[in-house]
Structure formats: C-alpha cells, structure tokens
Chain A
Amino acid sequence: MIRLGLRLAVSGGREALVRLVIVAIAVGLGVGLLLAAVAAVNAVNAQNDRYAWLNTGNSNTLGVQVHRQLRPGQEVAGVARAPLWLLFTTDEFDGQTIYRTDVAATGPSSSVPPGIPRDPGAGQYYISPALSALLHAAPAAELADRYPGHQAGLIGQAGLPSPDSLVIVVGRSAAQMAHLPGAAKVTSFNTTPPGSNAGVNQGSGLGAKGLDLVLSVVALALLLPVLIFIGTATRLSAARREQRFAAMRLVGATPRQISLIAAVESTVATAAGVAIGFGLFFVLRVPLAAISFTGQRFFPAELSLSLPDILAVAVGVPAAAAAVARLALRRVNISPLGVTRRVTPAPPRVWRVLPLLAGLADLGFFAVHGEPASNSGQVLSFTTGFALIIIGLVIAGPWLTMAGARVMARQASRPGALIAARRLADDPRAAFRAVSGLVLALFIFTVAAVLIATQDTKPHFSLDGAAANNTLVDQFSNLNVIGTGTQVAVGSAPPPPAAALTRLRQISGVQGILEVRADPGLQVQGIPAGVASCAQLASVPGLGRCPAGAAAAKVPSSLTNTGGNLAGVTWPAAAIPAGRLDSLPLGSLDVSTNGSQPAIEQARTVLENAYPTGTGLPPPQTIGEYTANSNTARNAYQQLADVVILTSLTVAGCTLAVSVAGGLADRKRPFSLLRLTGARLGMLRRVIVLESAVPLLAVAVIAIGTGFGASALYATTEMHLALVVPGAAYFVLTAAGIVLALGLIAATFPLLRRITGPETARSE
C-alpha cells in the first residue's frame, strides 16, 4: 500500500503532480517561516543572553547573587579567584550607545570578560569590530581620545550582543580603578540575561521584565498562523482526493488501506515541503539575520535551530500532516458510493466562545485583584490570558462564522448570497479556517497598536527647540523622590578644571558653556534647581535667560527632565553672591553647540576625559539622545511588533489565497455546471467573496474588540495606565489589511473564470 500511495502521490499524472508541487511549496513556505520564527525567537534570547555580562555589578535589585560583587576595599575570603576591578559605563557617539568596561586584574586568576583572551593591561583595550571601524573612521578628537592606550585586540562574538554592538574593554591599573567612582571588585561575570525572571537589568538588553511574556506571545502569534497555513495547504484538493478514495473503496480497498494511502500521500507532500522549508531557511538565514528584529542585527550563527527544534519540525510536521489526513478521512464518510453521503458536521456550539471569555476573565481578574508579585507569576498569568484569547479566537471563529452565515441567510434575496450562506452554515469550520490567520493578525496588530499608543502617553523626556539637539548635558546629579514625595537632586561633581573649559571653548562650533551649580533644597517651578551665572546663561540662549539685572538665576537641576521650549523662559533670579557660586559643586555642565556632529563629539570627548563617568548617571549627551535612549526598549518592542504583524499578515494572506484557490478547485464541477446552466460569472464571484468576507468581517469585529479589551486590562494591570485609542494610522492600516484580503480573494477571479469555462464542464 505504501508503494501504491507513493505511486499516486509522485506519478499520478499532471494534475497530481501540480497538486504535489503546490502542497510542497505551500508547506515549504510555511515551514520556512516556522523555522525562521523559531530561530528568531532563539536569536532574540541569545542576543539578550549576551547582554548578561554587561550587567555585572547590578545584582542588588533582585537578591539573586549569580556573581560576587565586593564592597570597595573588601577582600575576597575563601575564594581562590583574584578579584577584578570593574566599572561599566555607557558612552555615546552619533546617537549610538557604546558599552564601556574599565577593568583591572588583581591577579592572574582574575575573571576575564567574555570574548577576549585575557584582561587588558593598563594602557590597552579590547574593542568590538564595529567600534574599531568607527574609531578608525572618526577623527581622534571625536572618539579615540576618550580611550586611553592602544588596541590589544578585537572582542569576539561571545562578548557582543550583536555584530553592530559598540563595546570596549579598557585596561587600567588597580590604583586607577580604586579612585574611579562606582568601580567595584567582582569575582565572576553575570550570566543571567536581563529581563528574565531572575535577571537584572540596568539598561542593557531588551530589558523589560516581561521579555519572557513578550517572546511567548510572539511565538504563539507567529506559530499559530504558520500552522494554520500548513494545515490549509495540506488540505488542497481534498475533495478530488476523497472521490478517488471512494473509487478505490468500491473495488475493495479497506478503510485502513485508504487511511494508509492518504497518510503516505500527505507525508510525501509534507516531507518535500519540509525539505524545501529547511532549504529556504538556510538560504535566507544570513539576509534574515540582517533584519533588526529588536533594533540590532543578529549574528547569523545565532539565528539557529536546536536539535529538538529541527527534530520537532522535520518529524513533527509530516507526522502531524499524516495524522490530520487520517483525521480528515474519519470526518468524511468515504463509502464506495463516493462522498456524496458526506457526514455533515454538527454545527458549532456556543461553548466555543468559552476559551475566549476565559482569557478575558484571566486578564480581568488580575486587573481587579492586581498583578502577581513575582515576575514569573506575572509572566504566567499574562501568557495564559493572551494564549487563551488567541486560541479562543480560533476556537470561537466557526461559531461566529455560523452566526454570521445565519444572519446572511435570513437577509439573502439573491442566489449568490443564498449559496454562500448555505455553504458557510454547512461547514463554518472550513470557511473560518481560510480567514483565521487574518483574524489573529488583526488581534495582534490591535494589541500592539493599543499598547504602544498607551505606552506613548507616559511622560516624554523631550525638550523642544534647537537646545534639544544642540546642547550637550553632562549631568552629575540625579533626581530622587524622598519619603514626603518631594523630588530632590542628589549628587554633584567638582568644579570643572580650567584646562577642560579652555579645550571646550577651542572647539569649533561650541557656542557657550553653562555650569549649573548644585544647591540642595533649591526649587524652581516645583522641581529641584541649581544656580547658574547669568553671564553663562546668556551664552546658551536655548536654555532660557535671566531677569534683567540679575547676576545668577535658578535653573532646573536636570534639563533632561524639563519639557517644552526653554529658549523663551526667564528663570527667577537667585540671591547668591558671585564668590559663593564658584565654590558650589557642579550639578551639571551644559555645552551649547551649533549642532554639528564634530562639535558635539569633540565636546563629549573633553567632558568624558574631564569627568570619567561611573556614578551611574548617563554619559554627556544631548537631550535628543537622552530621549532616544529612554525609548530604546519601546523602539525594540515596536520593531518586534512590526516584524510579527508583517509576518503574520503575510502568512495569513497566503493562507487565504491557498484556501480560496483550493476551494475553487474543489468545486470546479458544480461551479462549471452552474455556468453551463446560465449562472453569470458575477454571481459566482459574489459567492466566493461572501464566503470569505462574512467570516472575516464577523470575526474581525470580535478580534478587534477583544484586542482593545485585552489591551485595556493589560494596561491597567501591568502598565498602570488607562487605555489610549491608537491614532488614525491604526484604523487606516486595519481597513487597508481588510481591503487587501478582499483583493487577494478578487485575485482568484481569473482562476474562477478559467476553471468554470464550458470546456471544463464538458470534460468534467
């Protein structure tokens, strides 16, 4: 029987071969996407894992001590390994973040950062290839002068989250490190990725505590449409196949033999598709790695599949196809008389909406009672809720389709609508299957759009006007909230060395320098303030001005937290003697430039050398850069959402096209006979459109509504924000997606004309 099944599948004539090729290509595309989705999720995880060591020294947040951090001056007791002096800071160049690690080994057994062979000695540094290229391309005064010493080598892949990562490991002496603020001794590097349940994060990596949740939902959102697509492809020409099986049953094939032949045929087509899918994946892996799913490219090797992944797809897809083929036959009464006595499936029952409601109830429960305390609890609760909703939409779809079909049947006055309504009511499952991918894509798109719109309502660190992009701010104080809820500025730096000020003034493009002196307790417009000289303020007009006659003014301690256009602001005068102003420590040093990159980068280099960072505060940066960095995680998620939506929409479109074309091929005979008996092509077109449009629109309304509902509950619970309706772009794109789907259906009209022509009817 296996040989007969192979014979039927492989050399069953032109039509059988075309069917085999179409199924194999469709499964190949599906499997390729499936593998790409699995590999992309692996790569996102791997990329995030590589950020782990860049978070060493930040284990104080969750109490998970995966590495040992020693207090300054503390010696290592009972640990054979010599400690390593370590200081992580971030730097900026042309809007890109540079991860800088200053290290000093205290012995030969000191830990070595991943990706380099040994700790660099004082005056040496290891550097990532991307930063090395940047270093050689940019003038030394703009970048290279920030890093003392010479290049000892390149950092390997093990130490880099992405091929584009800008990372430098600078070697110093232990004595130098001991005087750097924020430097600590460690005996090992953090291995727990940021954003994971036990992980820590101080700004490196995707970095949200819900990374696991996001990846779970992403995996589900990508895999489900792909699996539906594969399932749809393997059902192509099912009606023709069932007729053939009936003929075989007539001459004595047992049901078991038919099942075996069906399984062999499905397995052959699917196995060929799996081979095509693996081929596609490996051919497209390198270009795929260049797509920045999270804002940063992947290493091609990271876009990889584990052995279980490979086995699951290579064995699981053909096995699942064979199982589906057998299951499909059980639902059809293939008697020797044909499939005319098809078992009419029982109509979908109302219980099908229960999983969807359960998903909403899950999210609603946590919205009312608050989210679980632990990260793992939150991940579990939200993953369960979203998974129930996504699966619930697929389960509820046929019932909603049937409800829509019944409404249409009651209203139908034309034969096209009546035929479509009857067919939908007869098998709503098959009708919904064609549009299920689109419905899921709409849900995912809605959730992503609503959550991102809601997230965007959080206060932005934005400063309007030229000052935003032209003024470099080196911030030495941080805003903290004390017990009474009042904000205070904490931290300061010594007054700037005269040599540094001179070098700054010598830079072409630097227009002025503003030293904001720290004065604890001072407030302006309700926020912590420092004091600035009016003479200096006049040299940086973008940051406001003094009242007439004043010698000093109160200006906000943190310009990065001040919104609006400051150019027209008149700050209140500060009653402080000029002599005392110079003796106050520095709260921030703001350098006004003409906005050119050389001016900004040269000024940054001078500031970094004058004030080596390490206090946990950002490097000198413009407010525009500060805003961009604050939104890094949001942008990464937006990027991920875009990729997911685009992929799921593409897959859903393919599913719809294959499904409609397959449905046409299966009904070639009745449609061609209808045409022979005088039915107009337009009527048949209406049937085809209505058969897909009714389930699409009926369930899309529910999917979009559910998307809003689920997002509102998630926003309330997790983001502590009220839902915000996304902008017009969302509605335009949603409408465009639906129109595109209808266009895909319309694209099958030429096929309808061709396969229902009089010639076809005669040969049928």
Chain B
Amino acid sequence: MSGGMIIGARDVVKSFGQTPALRGASLEVQQGEIVAVMGPSGSGKSTLLHCLAGILTPDEGEVWFAGQRLDTLTETQRSEVRRDKFGFVFQSGQLVPELTAEENVALPLLLGGTRRAAALAQARDWFGRIGLDGLGNRRSGELSGGQAQRVALARGMVNGPQVLFADEPTGSLDSVSGELVMSLMTRAAREQNTTVILVTHDARVAAYADREVIVRDGTVSSLTGAAPSAGAAPSSRAAR
C-alpha cells in the first residue's frame, strides 16, 4: 500500500452464502480525498464500503487503515475504530428515535466516553453549520427526511473522523435536499481534511467527488479521475 493512502482494500473477496459479492476488489484512497464508488445494483459497491469501514470482514484479502490491518482486528477493536476514526451517513439516517437530534449527534462522543455536557456542547456547535439551529431538541420522528440526513451528517462528522463513509446519502431525498446534504458534506470534509468514500449510483452526487470508482461484478473494474498525489489538495469536480 502506498504511503499517502489513508484507507484501502487489496484483493478483497466477500461472499454471502453461495453468492459472491466481491471477487478480488482493490482500492486505495488518499487522505482528504472524496471518492465516489459507483456501479449497478448488486455490483458489490456497498459491500466494498462495508468492508472498508470494518462493518464486514472480508473472506479473503486485506483492508488497511492508517497503516494497520483493519480486517484482522476484533469486533470490539473495529467498533472502536468506527467510533473514533470513522463517520457514517447512510441512506436512511439511522438515527436513534428515542434520542433528540442533539443527543444523536453527540452519541459517538458519549460512546467514546466524553462527558455528557461536553458532548452535547460539541454537538450543538454543529446545528448552526448544518442549518438546523433550534431543532436540536427534536426527536428523529419530528424531522423531515432532509433534516434527519443533515443530523446524520453532523453525527458522522462530530468526532472529527479521518474517513466518512456515505452509502447513498441522498437516496431518499429530493434533489434540493440532496444537493444541500452533499454541499454540507463536502464542505465539512474539506474543512476537516476528512476522506469521504461515497457510494452512489447518481451521477450528480458522484460529481461532488474528486474521483469515481466503478465496481462491477465484485471488482473495481474502471476508474475515472486520478488519484491525487500525496499532499495535493483535492477538489471536487462539482466544485470546479
């Protein structure tokens, strides 16, 4: 694995029962890079993201993060990496309905042992940034889909992750809300130099990425854009 890489997969194979999802997929992502993983339904793009995020462990191959093997860590260790180093935004916000929006954002911090007051204060800062001032005390059922997704974005970014994983983050939103979420996501990622791995089949969403990766039949079969060299500041084509 190359020196500038923050996260990557090498020859990853993953099957669900008799059904192969990944058949030797490899990918390297640089620090601060925004990569869109595209491909048809059932191609294995979400599985690749789950393997990279340590949610799934590959049957074969290696997953590396910040110079260490992720796939050989225990479930608890991978949970801790997800909690401290990664952020997530999935298609449905995956918010905890019993918690307020503010508490949802603070959840990764609380799970990491940050004291409640400090965690909530840190979470509160995000509401202005995502345009949800005053909505921190609402529960997820009281938010619109776009609002819930922005809360999920804040939750994904609150602990300053090194990598943000986004699986169809605008899949259940209208185009305006989707664009808003993507703008916020890419801006926040740039500000924090956070790597984003974005699974989508929407070309407009992929346009926010620095690079597009196509997954087909379980392999990363083609690339568009170019992996930036280490140290270079990537910029999205949508921004350009």
Contact = CB atoms under 8 A, between A and B. Distances in A.
Chains A and B bind each other: yes
Given A4-B110, A253-B111, A336-B55, A248 B96 contact: yes
B83 interface: yes
A249 to B, nearest CB: 7
Interface in B9-64: 50, 55
A679 B171 CA distance: 27
A190 B90 CA distance: 77
B202 interface: no
Given A335-B55, A336-B82, A337-B50, A250 B88 contact: yes
Contacts of A494: none
B48 to A, nearest CB: 14
Interface in B106-165: 107-108, 110-112, 116, 139, 141, 155-156
A666 to B, nearest CB: 15
A107 interface: no
Size bracket of the A interface: 20 to 34
**Centre residue among B95, B96, B116 by max chain A CB count within 10 A:** B96
Interface string A240-270: 0000101111111111110000000000000
B191 interface: no
B97 A251 contact: no
A252 B94 contact: no
A251 B82 contact: yes
Contacts of A13: 97-98, 139, 141
B76 A251 contact: no
Contact of A252 (B84, B96, B116, B139): B84
Nearest to B83: A252
A255 B75 contact: yes
A256 B75 CA distance: 10
Interface in A278-304: none
A221 to B, nearest CB: 39
Interface string B83-102: 11010101000111111000
B76 A252 contact: no
Interface string A408-428: 000000000000000000000
Contacts of B172: none
A673 interface: no
A249 B79 contact: yes
Contact of A254 (B79, B110, B155, B156): B79
Contacts of B75: 254-255
A251 B156 CA distance: 8
B164 to A, nearest CB: 12
Interface in B176-198: none
B29 to A, nearest CB: 20
A337 B111 contact: no
B89 to A, nearest CB: 10
Contacts of B108: 251-252
Interface residues of B, number: 30
A244 B55 CA distance: 16
A16 interface: yes
A254 B74 CA distance: 11
B111 A12 contact: no
Contact of B79 (A8, A12, A253, A337): A253
B99 A250 contact: no
A248 B111 contact: yes
Contacts of A8: 96, 98-99
Contacts of B112: 252
Contacts of A252: 79-84, 86, 108, 111-112
Contact of B96 (A3, A247, A256, A763): A247
B99 A12 contact: yes
A248 B88 CA distance: 11
A246 B96 CA distance: 9
A3 B76 CA distance: 21
Given A13-B139, A253-B111, A763-B141, A247 B83 contact: no
Interface in A1-19: 1, 3-4, 7-8, 12-13, 15-16
A3 B111 contact: no
Interface in A139-171: none
Contacts of A248: 96, 107, 111
Contacts of B141: 13, 763
**Centre residue among A15, A246, A335, A337 by max chain B CB count within 10 A:** A337
B50 to A, nearest CB: 7
Nearest to B142: A13
Nearest to B85: A252
A244 B94 CA distance: 8
Interface of B: 50, 55, 75-76, 79-84, 86, 88, 90, 94-99, 103, 107-108, 110-112, 116, 139, 141, 155-156
Q: Which 9 pairs between the two chains have the least Cβ-Cβ distance?
A: A252-B83, A12-B98, A254-B79, A252-B82, A247-B94, A16-B98, A254-B76, A251-B108, A336-B55
7 contacts: A8-B98, A13-B98, A251-B156, A252-B79, A253-B79, A254-B80, A337-B50
Interface of A: 1, 3-4, 7-8, 12-13, 15-16, 244, 246-257, 335-337, 763
